[in-house]
Amino acid sequence: MQELAIAFFNGISIGSVLLLAALGLSITFGLMGVINLAHGELMMLGAYATFVVQNMFRPLGEPLFNFYIFLAIPVAFIVAALVGLLLERGVIRYLYGRPLETLLATWGVSLILRQFVRSVNWQMVIGLGLFSLLFFGGLFFVKRRQDWEKIRKWARAVLLVLSIGISTTASILMGNLAGQVLTRPWFSARNVDVTAPAWLRGGFALGNFQVPYARVFIIILGLVCLGLIYLFLNRSNWGLRIRSVTQNRQMSACLGIPTDQVDALTFAMGSGLAGVAGCAITLLGSVGPNTGQNYIVDTFMVVVVGGVGNLLGTVLAALAIGSLIYLIGSGTLAFLLSSVDVLQPVVDFLSFFATTSMSKVLVFALIIAFLQIKPAGIFPPKGRTAEL
Amino acid sequence: MINRRLGRRKFLLYGSATLGASVLLKACGSPSEDATTGTPGSGSGDTIKVGILHSLSGTMAISETTVVEAEQMAIAEINAAGGVLGKQIEAVVEDGASDWPTFAEKAEKLIDQDQVVTVFGCWTSASRKAVKDVFESRNHMLWYPVQYEGQECSRNIFYTGAAPNQQIEPAVDWLLENKGREFFLVGSDYVFPRTANTIIKEQLRAKGGTTVDEDYLPLGNTEVTGIITKIRQALPNGGVIFNSLNGDSNVAFFKQLQGSGLTPDLYPVMSVSIAEEEVQQIGREFLIGHYASWNYFQTVETPENQTWVEAFKAKHGQDRVTNDPMEAAYTMVYLWKQAVEQAGTADDLEAVRAAAIGQQLQAPHGLVTINPNHHLSKTVRIGQVRDDGLFDIIWSSDGPVEPLAWNQYVPSTRGYACDWTDPARGERFRMEGV
């Protein structure tokens, strides 16, 4: 009996990590049809935001330091949402309706984000800031001219080259002058240490078993995010607009809904959720430039199995996959079935897969088999949907 | 609402412009880069070129970047003291990126293109196995500073890290005497932990311990719940956990271990891949009270160690720590230098190889000698993590332990040894009277 309770809790806790990671992707993939391979990197950025917040709180000492996590969650959300907004405005907006190009472009962005985290230093930030200021500021002023239409093409090119040139030279000069202060990478390629606050370490005992506080926190966080998303999508004006744009973009545009803004908001929200997931995973493992890679595959699996665009499907899929990985990987399933003699060959088969590596193999095989029966996931989208 | 699509012509135009600009920027940026990152040169004349091949990025970067620093520090010291055979050493640093095919590729590049006279490199056994063929086919020389699983004795590799009988076996013996007889084995899923666990299982069988269960995590994986359940089921009242996880899986393992209430008094964890550097990265609050087995700890009290630690901290920062692979890397550069000076040449690798055997050095952890089987005699120590993140040395062997390349517990290699000074014996020969 206690085995079942433990298995239940562990399955939910693994599932809640998957759920947090997959909520954001379910929104961007489900509501917008955008395959975002940079989702893992957005999680990673949320984790790094948590690291920065932790470092800001560290000198404040013990009582305040324990509450840094409550500030870290909104900060991670905002950081990831801003990056997602940038991504949407800069790259994905041009590629709607073209899933293959979106896939490649976002994969490229994921590589850029990973290297950015490894090598970002003040010099780079200053250079980028200068460039944005010069280019977009210059564009802003030039657009006000009377002969804008005529000089548009070469004005852009000239501004681009000029801003790149000036910002690059300025940042290199400053780097050479100031030396290590400006050129030292903020994070470097190595992993960073994010320590959970004291009240999240350890756990409370339940009989023979100890329930880790960190896991409970993640489950609660997942439920809260789920609730907030549900309320936002179904009870607010912007949620209504998002849903209408998903169902029929052109009709919504006719009705006066600003589809551009809706797209940007949806993508930013999905990315922000990825940032919150990143904050959660700092409680479980290490944070480094490659952290996102560990989660991206599982996240896509959850979204695909759950049915694209369906919150309930995502929840069920996350719980199911999490529970399966745990039950097979820890040998609990084999153990539970071993009491029935007839099922002995099944037990042997499951025992072979009862390690962490092999359990993933079996789970993926089961997912593939499941997708053969139900290709659109647990809850396929109903009705006719106009292709973008 | 205008649909701003990116057509093919515009894409090609912008794409080629970006490509051209980036190539231009890279070309302009190169001269201001550090001179030790691959500047072409003949290597003859005033400098001797050596290669450094480690993971500077990826899941293993957490560990390997410190080894690079130790090697570069040794090279800088040797250069400041006049160099080798009167010539300065120039290091070509390459990044294996925690990807084993990349290691092989970079090894080929170092040997064929950069024409280095030796390579200091690798950490994981997977990376070493990937480059082994490269070094053997080109009859080159690799110095490998990390403890490993043994069962290998290549003519072209010098193993300056611990062999299993200098790290794992003494640790198991100590655990059997002091902590318990039931072992749970956990490791990353690649060659070192699997082979190490084979050795441990055989040793336990021979000495009366039991292996209750084992499990493996893919490198970089962070979901440890299943393993913790297995530990509870197999060891309900406590027992020994032998940990050969590598890289950042360790962070997840110890964080979640503590969260599940498995404390060091009932479930002591002996690790063979966690040193001072990893304690910092994981967070010392999760590791206090657990054990590690190495030849070197920063707290070893020898005059050489005191000098080295002070110099390292002065150069890289007072909050930095030193650990066993760093010490082995630092030592092996000096051993190579001694071999080259005795042979009188750096280019004739046969002469250097022959001269290397028998080289002795008072390393920071103690006296080391290069044995005919290309391994090092090293002192064995067991440490326990203490509050400041360093180790209390709670056991130490009486003197340097001779290395055994082929493990004597595993049936397939029992009775075999390796000797490169005798052409009749070579990599693997049967010892007499066994």
What would the 3-class secondary structure string for B270-295 be? EECCCCHHHHHHHCHHHCCCCEEEEC
Residue A6 CB neighbours (<10 A): 22
Asked if pLDDT for residue B43 goes beyond 80, the answer is: no
Asked if pLDDT for residue A383 goes beyond 70, the answer is: no
| Contact between residue A125 and residue A131 where contact means Cβ atoms under 8 Å apart | no
Return the bridge partners of A209, or none: A206
The three-class DSSP label of residue B249 is helix
Asked if pLDDT for residue B38 goes beyond 50, the answer is: no
Q: Compute the residue count for chain B.
A: 434
Asked if pLDDT for residue A66 goes beyond 80, the answer is: yes
Q: Give the chain B residue nearest A388 (alpha carbons).
A: B3
- A contacts of B227 (beta carbons < 8 Å): 330, 356
Which ranges of B212-291 does DSSP label H, i.e. alpha helix?
225-234, 249-259, 276-282
What is the DSSP-derived secondary structure letter of residue B401? Answer: B
Is B378 or B251 the better-scoring residue by pLDDT?
B378
Q: Which range (A28-32, A251-255, A288-292, B172-176) has the least confidence?
A: A28-32
* B14, amino acid identity: Y
- ipTM for this prediction: 0.75
What confidence tier does B3 reach under pLDDT thresholds 50, 70, 90? low
Give the angle subtended at the CA of B12 by the CAs of B11 and B14, to the nearest 5°: 65
Average of per-residue pLDDT across B237-245: 91
Query: pTM for the complete prediction?
Result: 0.80
The dihedral formed by the CA atoms of A198, A200, A201 and A202, expressed in degrees to the nearest 10: 130
In this structure, the strands spanning A209-212 and A203-206 are antiparallel
| Contact between residue A233 and residue A266 where contact means Cβ atoms under 8 Å apart | no
Asked if pLDDT for residue B131 goes beyond 70, the answer is: yes
Instruction: Dump pLDDT digits (tens) for B323-371.
Output: 999 999 999 999 999 999 999 988 899 999 999 999 999 999 999 999 9
Q: Which range (A130-139, A157-166, A342-351, B121-130) has the least confidence?
A: A342-351
Q: Compute the residue count for chain A.
A: 388
Q: Which of residues 25-84 of A touch B (CB under 8 A)?
A: none
Structure confidence at residue B104 (pLDDT): 94
Helices then strands, each counted (H, E), chain B: 12, 17
The dihedral formed by the CA atoms of A265, A268, A273 and A277, expressed in degrees to the nearest 10: 180
The dihedral formed by the CA atoms of A357, A362, A363 and A364, expressed in degrees to the nearest 10: 90
| Contact between residue A191 and residue B248 where contact means Cβ atoms under 8 Å apart | yes
What confidence tier does B37 reach under pLDDT thresholds 50, 70, 90? very low
Average of per-residue pLDDT across B108-124: 93
Average of per-residue pLDDT across A132-153: 83
Between A118, A202, A290, which is nearest B258 by CB? A202
| Contact between residue A275 and residue A46 where contact means Cβ atoms under 8 Å apart | yes
Size of interface A-B (CB pairs under 8 A): 140
Structure confidence at residue A98 (pLDDT): 85
Q: Give the chain A residue nearest B280 (alpha carbons).
A: A193
φ/ψ of A76, rounded to 5, equals: -60, -40
Rounded Cα distance, B37 and B34, in Å: 6
Is B34 or B18 the better-scoring residue by pLDDT?
B18
A283: closest CA among B57, B330, B420, B254?
Answer: B254
Percentage of chain A beyond pLDDT 90 is 33
**B15–A contact, CB cutoff 8 A:** no
Structure confidence at residue B144 (pLDDT): 95
A188: closest CA among A77, A275, A114, A279?
Answer: A114
Average of per-residue pLDDT across A189-218: 81
Helices then strands, each counted (H, E), chain A: 18, 2
B203: closest CA among B382, B195, B374?
Answer: B195
Asked if pLDDT for residue A251 goes beyond 70, the answer is: yes
Is A349 or B91 the better-scoring residue by pLDDT?
B91
What is the rounded average pLDDT for all residues in chain B?
87
- B contacts of A190 (beta carbons < 8 Å): 61-62, 65, 281
Q: Which of residues 275-294 of B touch A (CB under 8 A)?
A: 280-283, 285
Mean pLDDT highest for which of A246-255, A354-363, B133-142, B281-290?
B133-142
Average of per-residue pLDDT across A330-335: 76
Q: How many CA atoms lie within 13 A of A341 on its CB side?
A: 0
| Contact between residue B401 and residue B165 where contact means Cβ atoms under 8 Å apart | yes
- What lies within 8 Å, CB to CB, of A82 at 6+ separation is A268
* B79, amino acid identity: N
Rounded Cα distance, B194 and B216, in Å: 8
Rounded Cα distance, B364 and B310, in Å: 12
Structure confidence at residue A178 (pLDDT): 80
Average of per-residue pLDDT across A12-34: 87
- A contacts of B59 (beta carbons < 8 Å): 288, 290
Residue that has been written with the tokens 């309930």 in this structure: A312
CA B327 vs CA A8, B55, B79: distances in Å: 47, 18, 19
Q: Which range (A309-313, B23-27, B193-197) has the least confidence?
A: B23-27
**B256–A contact, CB cutoff 8 A:** yes
What is the rounded average pLDDT for all residues in chain A?
86
**B61–A contact, CB cutoff 8 A:** yes
What confidence tier does A39 reach under pLDDT thresholds 50, 70, 90? very high
Rounded Cα distance, A86 and B245, in Å: 38
Structure confidence at residue B203 (pLDDT): 92
H or E element in which residue A16 lies: helix A2-25
Asked if pLDDT for residue B73 goes beyond 70, the answer is: yes
Return the bridge partners of B366, or none: B363
What confidence tier does A65 reach under pLDDT thresholds 50, 70, 90? confident
